[in-house]
Amino acid sequence: MKNILIVEDSLTVRKLVAFLLKGDEISISEAEDGEQGLALAKEKNFDLLISDYNMPNMNGLELVTALRAMEHYQNLPILMLTTESDPQLKEQGKALGLTGWIIKPLNPDIFKKVVVKVLKKANA
């Protein structure tokens, strides 16, 4: 069973991502901002984090920074799913250890393939 955490302030996007990834071998947890996501990450172990960048209370890169400071999450695969395409933000994310940066709107087929690839690579 793979545990995936989706951190996204838009309920519609959160539900879409959960729907696309739902399966027998996947458990989905959801948070509406970085603070909630961090709290969930402290309660449960996750195999993948998918986060928006622009969120209230704690943005996606702040969440990544907080998670990378935790020993258990130093190698966690993290995908940023966002409307932001600024190369400086992408570089900042890469420096923090992001696995990938996906620009919204997402292509469902490509998104699912990326997630499967990231999960397989994490298991290797």
| Cα separation, 81 vs 78, whole angstroms | 10
Placement of tokens 């499967």 in the chain = 116
pLDDT tens string 47-83? 999 999 999 999 999 999 999 999 989 999 999 999 9
Please report the pLDDT score of residue 124 as a whole number: 66
Mean pLDDT of the chain: 94
Domains of the chain and CATH, by start:
1-16+24-78+96-102 (3.40.50.2300)
DSSP string for residues in 23-39: BTTEEEEEESSHHHHHH
Q: Which two tokens stand for residue 93?
A: 């994310």
Tokens standing for residue 58: 């704690």
